[in-house]
């Protein structure tokens, strides 16, 4: 067990090292912070609302573009360059590989979200900020990001081309987004089903400031489901 | 020690490897030869637990492939084309590989230093791998495979992309490793296998064709004793005498620039033809200018067994 954790941490550390040594990580991080800053500033200065509802409303869209970019190389590059064979013949379980990759991206995403805490801090200085609601929203954002990372990681396991992985990951997240947009046009049964399983519906419920166990559970379940699918995809070679 | 029993791997309905059985002892270097698509890499992928066998079983130092984590701890594997993390520098790559094998920091630092010296990487240790030549990347792969000091080493075409000097160095290194460890290597380069390996096996279309030392394979391929001889003058009397004492002997005049040049063969590859011919020539007073036994080369064996001669 401890060996597995150490190996997952070694994979996580290796991914961090690569992210810090290559320009892609910096480009994605800078672009994300600029875009988040733009939407925050837009609501505050142009619309003149000193709250963060608009900001948290647009964050899922930003994550939909940026998270597939952060995960696209994670497993596709390993398969393209042949290093997956190296990795899979080391004394490590496939689950540890998936966990290491997932935590590597989650640490990056968490660091980016932590940097955006500057915006609520600014707002707290100039107005009345509901700290509890913002904290709940950040927790929801973190859990939604975890869902998106797991979905994008699965996309990266499906192909050996990073760009194709991005397109698949973005396509899956966009599909979930479109489903939410189309929800009012669906039958009541379909609406109930989507409300129960779609990550965005749980995120929106949590934005109201109430952390429901069912909402947290649903977001965690989708994350675990896609991590399991990633594991399955990597193990498939064993059964071909 | 590597022990494979009836190892098979199917892709769909097609056998990539079929009922392959062999063993490699500790202190022995075994060469795996075969044309493209013969199943060499698939065999290695099975032995390193990257692919499970469809049927059959193999053991690495007594550990079954089903106990894959133990097997992977005991094996050092260099996959084809020596993949490595090109965005990392050599030191970081080796550190990652060591951490994955559970090496502690102090041991890992020492092992990286040792491997750096052994594989000639000490002066490129902090250069990014994507800036290195193919030869150096190959060395990085070799260093990574030996980092955790495994008892069993499996190298898939270890000298691909190396220059002649590097090839000589790596061959020496493999020979040295093979003195105490179990080494299985695949190669397309027949002289390399001959120079490095104690024994070799040839596989074709997933099936074992033959296995043995270079000398044994050579004998198997020839199938008969063959002697080339050149006399100073006509020597029919010598052959008449030979035919009287050795019934199954065959004599053919060779079409060369040199007159009185013959090929003499006997169905038994171990028959002492040279000795019999010498005694016959002395009895008849004939002068032999040149005489040598013809050996089948590894190329001949490979050609014959893998269908190249058809």
CATH number of domain containing B246: 3.30.70.100
**Two tokens, residue B77:** 């594997």
Tokens standing for B190?
């027949």
Mean pLDDT of chain A: 90
pLDDT of residue B268: 81
Of B192, B212, B232, the residue that ends a domain is: B212
pLDDT at B296: 66
Chosen for mutation from B16, B44, B85 (greatest number of chain A CBs closer than 10 Å) is: B85
From B186, B212, B238, give the residue that closes a domain. Answer: B212
B72 touches chain A (CB under 8 A): yes
What is the rounded average pLDDT of the residues A124-141? 86
State whether B289 and B149 are in the same domain: no
Angle between helices A213-235 and A199-206 (to 10 degrees): 150
Tokens for B56? 């059959």
User: Mean pLDDT over residues A29-53, rounded?
Assistant: 82
A6: contact with B, CB 8 A cutoff = yes
CA B141/CA B170 separation, integer angstroms: 12
Helix H segments across A22-93?
23-41, 53-81, 83-88
Whether B87 sits inside 8 A of A91 (CB atoms) is no
**A-B C-beta contacts closer than 8 Å:** 73
Hey, is the C-beta of B100 within 8 angstroms of any chain A C-beta?
yes
CA A43 to each of CA A40, A50, A120, A123, A128: distance values in angstroms, whole numbers, following the listed order: 6, 7, 12, 11, 16
Q: Any idea where the domains of chain A sit in the sequence?
A: 2-238
Cβ proximity of A164 and A76 under 8 Å: yes
**B16 and B102 share one domain:** yes
Better pLDDT: A166 or B303? A166
Please judge whether B100 and A81 are an interchain contact, meaning their C-beta atoms are less than 8 angstroms apart. Answer: no
Widest CA span in chain A: 61
User: Domain limits at B116?
Assistant: 2-212
**Residue B310: per-residue pLDDT:** 45
Buried b (16+ CB within 10 A) or exposed e, A192-229: eebbeebbbbbbbbbbeeeeeeebeebbeebbeebbeb
B67 plus B172 within the same structural domain: yes
B75 with B153: CB under 8 angstroms? yes
CB of B80 within 8 Å of a chain A CB? The answer is yes
* pLDDT at site B309: 47
Same domain, B241 and B149: no
Q: Say whether B100 and A7 touch across the interface (CB within 8 A).
A: yes
Confidence of residue A41 (pLDDT cuts 50, 70, 90): confident
Euclidean distance between the first and final Cα of chain A, in Å?
A: 28
| Residue B308: predicted pLDDT | 60
Please report the pLDDT score of residue A100 as a whole number.
96
B305 in any annotated domain: no
Same domain, B146 and B236: no
Secondary structure letter of residue A212 according to DSSP: -
Assign A190 a pLDDT band (cuts: 50, 70, 90).
confident
Of A21, A85, A90, the CB nearest to B100: A90
> What six digits make up the tokens of B281?
């020539």
* Counts of helices then strands in chain B (DSSP H, E): 11, 14
Q: Is A175 exposed, middle or buried (0-12, 13-18, 19+ CB in 10 A)?
A: exposed
Q: Is B58 strand, coil or helix? A: strand
Q: Is the pLDDT of residue A124 over 80?
A: yes
Residues B151 and B204 in one domain: yes
Rounded CA-CA distance A8/A10 in Å is 5
CA A17 to chain centre: 20
Based on the fold, state whether residues B31 and B136 are members of the same structural domain. yes
Q: Which residue of A has its CA nearest to B85?
A: A83
Residue whose pair of structure tokens reads 């990001």 in the numeric block: A145
What CATH number is attached to the domain comprising B120? 3.40.50.300
Question: From CA B138, how far away is CA B151, in angstroms rounded?
Answer: 20
Nearest residue to B7 (alpha-carbon basis) of B55, B51, B62, B39: B55
Do residues B40 and B181 share a domain? Answer: yes
Query: What pLDDT is stored for residue A240 in this prediction?
Result: 57
Average pLDDT over residues A143-147: 97
The domain boundary, picked from B212, B243, B264, lies at: B212
User: Mean of the pLDDT values across residues A156-175?
Assistant: 96
Q: Which two tokens stand for residue B179?
A: 């003195």
To the nearest whole Å, the CA of B130 is away from the closest chain A CA by 12
Total number of domains constituting chain B: 2
Q: Which of B80, B22, B15 is nearest to B208 (CA)?
A: B22
Q: State whether residue B92 sits within 8 Å of chain A by CB.
A: yes
State how far the Cα of B93 lies from the Cα of A90, in Å rounded to an integer. 14
ipTM above threshold 0.90: no
Is the CB of B131 inside 8 Å of chain A's CB atoms? Answer: no
CB contacts of A14 in chain B (<8 Å) are 85, 88, 92, 96
User: What is the full per-residue pLDDT of chain B (310 aa) written as tens digits?
Assistant: 899 999 999 988 889 999 999 999 999 999 999 888 889 999 999 999 999 999 999 999 999 999 999 999 999 999 988 999 999 999 999 999 999 999 988 899 999 999 999 888 989 999 999 999 888 899 999 999 999 999 999 999 888 777 788 888 888 888 888 888 999 999 877 888 888 999 999 999 889 988 988 878 777 766 677 888 998 888 888 888 888 888 788 888 887 777 888 888 888 877 888 888 898 889 888 899 888 887 667 777 787 777 764 4
Please enumerate in sequence order all residues whose Cβ is within 8 A of that of A207, keeping only pairs 6 or more positions apart, or say none: A53, A56, A57, A133, A136, A137, A140
- Read off the pLDDT of residues A212-228 as tens digits, 9 standing for 90 and up: 899 999 999 999 999 99
Domain-located, residue B180: yes
Residue in this structure with the two tokens 């995960």, named with its chain if needed: A71
Residue B119: inside a domain: yes
One domain for residues B41 and B100: yes
Q: Quick one: pLDDT at residue A97?
A: 95
Q: Are residues B230 and B121 in the same domain?
A: no
> Which among B79, B88, B101 has CB closest to A91?
B101
The rounded distance, in Å, linking the Cα atoms of A76 and A96 is 17
In a shared domain, residues B90 and B237: no
**Phi, psi angles (nearest 5°) of residue B256:** -125, 175
- Confidence class of residue A239 from pLDDT cuts 50, 70 and 90? low
Q: Does A15 score more than 90 pLDDT?
A: yes
């Amino acid at each position: 067990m401890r060996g597995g954790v150490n190996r997952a941490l070694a994979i996580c550390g290796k991914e961090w090292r690569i992210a810090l040594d290559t320009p892609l990580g910096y480009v994605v991080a800078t672009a994300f912070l600029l875009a988040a800053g733009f939407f925050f500033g837009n609501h505050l200065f142009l619309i003149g609302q000193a709250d963060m509802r608009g900001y948290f409303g647009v964050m899922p869209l930003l994550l939909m573009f940026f998270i597939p970019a952060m995960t696209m190389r994670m497993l596709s590059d390993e398969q393209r360059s042949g290093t997956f064979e190296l990795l899979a013949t080391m004394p490590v379980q496939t689950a540890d590989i998936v966990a290491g990759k997932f935590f590597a991206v989650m640490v990056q995403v968490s660091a980016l979200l932590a940097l955006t805490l500057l915006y609520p801090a600014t707002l707290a200085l100039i107005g009345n900020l509901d700290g509890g609601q913002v904290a709940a929203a950040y927790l929801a954002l973190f859990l939604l990001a975890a869902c998106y990372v797991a979905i994008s990681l699965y996309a990266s396991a499906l192909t050996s081309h990073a760009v194709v992985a991005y397109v698949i990951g973005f396509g899956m997240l966009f599909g979930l987004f479109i489903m939410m947009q189309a929800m009012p046009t669906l039958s009541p049964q379909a609406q109930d089903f989507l409300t129960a399983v779609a990550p965005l519906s749980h995120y929106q419920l949590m934005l109201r400031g109430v952390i429901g166990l069912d909402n947290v559970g649903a977001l965690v379940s989708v994350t675990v489901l896609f991590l399991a699918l990633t594991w399955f995809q990597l193990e498939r070679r064993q059964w071909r | 020690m590597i022990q494979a029993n009836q190892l098979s791997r199917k892709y769909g309905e097609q056998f990539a490897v079929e009922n392959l059985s062999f063993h490699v002892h500790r202190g022995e270097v075994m060469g795996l030869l075969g044309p493209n698509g013969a199943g060499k890499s698939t065999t290695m992928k099975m032995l390193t637990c990257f692919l499970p066998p469809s049927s059959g079983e193999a053991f690495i130092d007594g550990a079954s492939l089903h106990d894959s984590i133990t097997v992977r701890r005991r094996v050092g594997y260099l996959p084809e084309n020596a993949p490595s993390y090109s965005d990392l520098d050599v030191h970081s790559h080796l550190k990652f590989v060591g951490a994955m094998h559970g090496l502690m920091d102090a041991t890992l630092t020492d092992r990286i230093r040792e491997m750096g010296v052994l594989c000639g990487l000490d002066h490129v240790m902090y250069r990014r791998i994507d800036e290195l030549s193919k030869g150096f990347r190959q060395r990085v792969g070799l260093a990574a495979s030996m980092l955790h000091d495994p008892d069993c080493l499996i190298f898939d075409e270890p000298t691909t992309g190396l220059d002649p000097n590097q090839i000589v160095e790596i061959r020496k290194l493999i020979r040295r490793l093979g003195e105490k460890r179990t080494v299985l290597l695949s190669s397309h380069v027949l002289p390399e296998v001959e120079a490095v390996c104690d024994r070799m096996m040839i596989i074709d279309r997933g099936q074992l064709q033959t296995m043995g030392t270079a000398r044994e394979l050579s004998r198997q391929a020839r199938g008969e004793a063959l002697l080339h001889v050149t006399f100073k003058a006509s020597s029919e009397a010598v052959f008449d005498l030979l035919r009287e004492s050795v019934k199954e002997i065959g004599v053919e005049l060779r079409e060369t620039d040199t007159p009185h040049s013959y090929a003499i063969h006997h169905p038994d590859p171990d028959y002492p033809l040279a000795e019999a011919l010498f005694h016959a020539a002395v009895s008849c007073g004939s002068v032999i200018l040149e005489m040598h036994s013809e050996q089948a080369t590894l190329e001949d064996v490979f050609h014959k067994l893998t269908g190249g001669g058809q």
